[in-house]
């Protein structure tokens, strides 16, 4: 199914992606999906969705005292229609078209936030971000950037806890919707099992790395990671 070299590279990428998510609050799919798609398309994107569930659950439990429950509730509410829209788009449009749209939206939002403008958190913007995250998470396993940009000015533990809680519900919605549409296959489960050790190593490392970054550095990491996400998707479109 996969060559030994592909497996080694995929494990390393998964470990780095999991460590990044444990520090920034998101990034597992952002980093691994574009790279592993180039390496071997059979490794993405559903295996990342499967592994992201235990990853997000562990981080949420680790940072549970810092959860922004009110904001998370509205974002989660938006993930329901977003997940459904994503599943419909996944079956109706070419993946390259979808990836190109996501890359453009994420890069535009990142540039906007980096310029000094921030998204005001209201129930409407939180719900809208939830819809956007649900769509992007379902079709590409990259649902973190929209939510992270909404919370980029919050303390690190709040970002990690809130994003992880949102991701847990969102991933359950995404995986349930994909399963209902027959989009999850045995090959996806096998790929996820192969990548699992790498994810666990990265998750373990993140516990020690997270304490070394202050909030200002964390905000920069969020912007850089979101930019990498959009560029990675653009590369994926170009080579596809």
The per-residue pLDDT for range 22-44, each reduced to its tens digit, is 998 888 987 887 788 778 889 98
In order, the DSSP letters of 20-62 are HHHHHS--HHHHHHHHHHHH-GGG-SHHHHHHHHHHHHHHHHH
Tell me the C-alpha distance between 22 and 24, whole Å.
Answer: 6
Q: Is the pLDDT of residue 111 over 80?
A: no
Nearest CA to 226 among 135, 172, 151?
Answer: 151
Q: Which residue has the higher pLDDT, 17 or 230?
A: 17
Residue-level pLDDT at 76: 92
Residue-level pLDDT at 7: 96
Tokens standing for residue 69: 């429950």
Residue-level pLDDT at 109: 66
Instruction: Please indicate, yes or no, whether the overall pTM of this predicted structure exceeds 0.95.
Output: no
Residue-level pLDDT at 89: 81
The per-residue pLDDT for range 87-102, each reduced to its tens digit, is 888 777 666 776 777 6
Average pLDDT, the chain: 85
């Amino acid at each position: 199914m996969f060559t030994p070299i592909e497996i080694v590279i995929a494990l390393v990428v998964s470990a780095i992606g999991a460590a990044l998510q444990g520090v920034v609050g998101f990034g597992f799919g952002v980093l691994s999906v574009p790279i592993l798609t180039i390496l071997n398309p059979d490794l993405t994107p559903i295996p990342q969705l499967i592994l992201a569930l235990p990853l997000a659950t562990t981080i949420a439990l680790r940072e549970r005292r810092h959860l922004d429950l009110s904001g998370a509730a509205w974002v989660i509410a938006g993930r329901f229609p977003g997940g459904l829209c994503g599943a419909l788009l996944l079956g109706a449009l070419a993946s390259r078209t979808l990836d190109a749209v996501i890359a453009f939206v994420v890069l535009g939002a990142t540039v906007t936030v980096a310029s000094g403008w921030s998204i005001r958190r209201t129930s409407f913007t939180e719900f809208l971000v939830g819809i956007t995250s649900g769509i992007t998470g379902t079709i590409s396993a990259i649902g973190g950037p929209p939510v992270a940009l909404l919370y980029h000015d919050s303390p690190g533990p709040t970002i990690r806890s809130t994003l992880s809680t949102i991701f847990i519900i969102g991933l359950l919605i995404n995986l349930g919707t994909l399963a209902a549409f027959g989009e999850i296959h045995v090959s996806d489960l096998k790929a996820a099992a192969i990548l699992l050790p790498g994810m666990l190593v990265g998750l373990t490392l993140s516990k020690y790395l997270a304490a070394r970054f202050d909030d200002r550095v964390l905000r920069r990491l969020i912007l850089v990671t979101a930019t990498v996400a959009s560029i990675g998707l653009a590369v994926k479109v170009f080579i596809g």
